[in-house]
């Protein structure tokens, strides 16, 4: 078999050498050797200098996903070492109960995501190169973590771009449908087969804990609550009252169950459309000391960014009008297209239109278990901004 060699067009290697792990199909000048999607291939610059090795997929716009920039032979030990290093980093940072154990490109294996929920793992496979080595990765995870069971949550539409069908199910041992995890100081129930992402939003754990100094003794409105991550933490941290709002009936029942599980009696859950509710509360002149906005991504592609920007501005503008002077807005965006610069620009516009003065107290991102890879903008996706909202004087 003749090993495949991919040669790039002039200057296309610059971005790859600066840290970005994706080689797009339109950046390729020529291909030599046997072309087999899923194989590991070598990538060279136009001057024939070595650039890296990675997973090949001719069906995807991302033609090669870089694994290494060293000209080495990639065997099972290569993947084993990367998984171990990523796991050890989380342990050293103090993670033990529930966390992202492996974060795809940022940890060195494009398309492999692994989340740990107590004694169980949930894996997600987003690249062909990982998919055809699925059993290898199951074996490596089993050896590294010694889990009771591993569940696969590869039921995401983006797999179609890799030519892969959606899939979910148990791939090792036994996994219950619901797992109780320790998140900071509270217990949360996680729906493994049907919950968001691989079960819940692990990337917000540190941000949930960060609201402690802002909520004690305060009235709190938690919008787009999902299963109550922010709102339940606010209640645990001594908020006077917490109102959690979500449009999903299932989410409301999960918030109520999680509140009971933590013996929190200062929480109410309301099924409502947040956009409409914020306008209704403004009409009723109902104010809160703290409002939390953690909406789903309003856009997952660049074409709809303008509409998403308008949506983010609308909810933030309305929320700012409902906050007592000196109160706080905790506002998030999980769309990487809504860059930090664009997000702050939107917040400034919202403050002007709301006729309020906004002081930025904190700018936060995803937790340390979701590292950002410099050179790849997509790995910085979560923004969490805490603003102090004041009347003009």
Residue 65 CB: number of other CB atoms within 10 A? Answer: 26
Return the CATH number of the domain spanning residue range 5-68.
2.30.130.10
Sequence-separated (6 or more) residues with CB below 8 Å from residue 228:
188, 222, 244, 254, 255, 258, 259, 267, 269
Whole-number Å distance between alpha carbons of 371 and 200? 18
CATH 2.30.130.10: which residues of the chain?
A: 5-68
Q: Mean pLDDT across the chain, nearest whole number?
A: 95
201-391: what fold? Answer: Rossmann fold (3.40.50)
**Tens-digit pLDDT profile for residues 314-344:** 999 999 999 999 999 999 999 888 899 999 9
Give the pTM.
Answer: 0.92
CATH 3.30.750.80: which residues of the chain?
A: 76-177
pLDDT reported for residue 50 = 97
Average pLDDT over residues 226-238: 96
Flag whether pLDDT at 198 surpasses 80. Answer: yes
List 4, 332, 334, 384, catalytic entry:
334
Average pLDDT over residues 28-39: 93
CATH 3.40.50.150: which residues of the chain?
A: 201-391
* Residue 334 annotated among the catalytic residues of the structure: yes
Flag whether pLDDT at 300 surpasses 90. Answer: no
Flag whether pLDDT at 271 surpasses 80. Answer: yes
76-177: what fold? Answer: Transcription Regulator spoIIAA (3.30.750)
Q: Report which of 189, 233, 192 is spatially closest to residue 215, judged by C-alpha positions.
A: 233
pLDDT category of residue 298 using cuts at 50, 70 and 90: confident
């Amino acid at each position: 078999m003749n090993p495949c060699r991919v040669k790039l067009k002039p200057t296309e290697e610059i971005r790859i050498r600066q840290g970005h792990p994706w080689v797009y199909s339109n950046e390729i000048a020529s291909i030599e050797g046997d072309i087999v999607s899923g194989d590991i291939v070598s990538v060279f610059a136009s001057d024939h200098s070595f650039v890296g090795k990675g997973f090949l997929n001719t069906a995807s716009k991302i033609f090669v996903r870089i694994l290494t920039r060293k000209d080495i032979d990639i065997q099972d030990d290569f993947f084993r070492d990367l998984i171990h290093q990523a796991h050890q980093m989380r342990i050293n940072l103090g993670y033990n109960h529930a966390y992202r154990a492996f974060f795809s490109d940022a940890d060195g294996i494009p398309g492999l995501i692994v989340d740990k929920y107590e004694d169980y793992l949930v894996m997600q496979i987003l690249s062909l190169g990982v998919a055809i080595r699925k059993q290898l990765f199951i074996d490596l995870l089993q050896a590294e973590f010694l889990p009771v069971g591993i569940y696969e949550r590869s039921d995401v539409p983006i797999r179609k771009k890799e030519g892969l069908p959606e899939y979910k199910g148990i791939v090792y041992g036994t996994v219950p449908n619901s797992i109780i995890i320790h998140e900071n100081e509270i217990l949360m129930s996680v729906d493994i087969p049907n919950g968001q992402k691989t079960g819940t939003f692990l990337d917000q754990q540190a941000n949930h804990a960060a609201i402690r100094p802002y909520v004690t003794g305060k009235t709190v409105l938690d919008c787009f609550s999902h299963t109550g991550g922010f709102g339940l933490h606010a209640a645990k941290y001594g908020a006077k009252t917490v109102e959690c709002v979500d449009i999903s009936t299932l989410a409301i029942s999960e918030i109520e169950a999680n509140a009971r599980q933590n013996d929190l009696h200062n929480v109410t859950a309301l099924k409502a459309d947040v956009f409409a509710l914020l306008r209704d509360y403004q009409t009723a002149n109902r104010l809160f000391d703290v409002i939390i906005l953690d909406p789903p991504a309003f856009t997952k592609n660049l074409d709809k960014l303008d509409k998403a920007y308008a949506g983010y501005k609308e909810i933030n503008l309305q929320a700012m009008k409902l906050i007592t002077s000196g109160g706080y807005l905790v506002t998030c965006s999980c769309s990487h297209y809504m860059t930090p610069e664009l997000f702050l620009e939107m917040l400034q516009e919202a403050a002007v239109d709301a006729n309020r003065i906004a002081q930025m107290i904190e700018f936060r991102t995803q937790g340390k278990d979701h590292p950002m890879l410099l050179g790849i903008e997509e790995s910085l996706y979560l923004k969490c901004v805490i603003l102090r909202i004041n009347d003009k004087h």
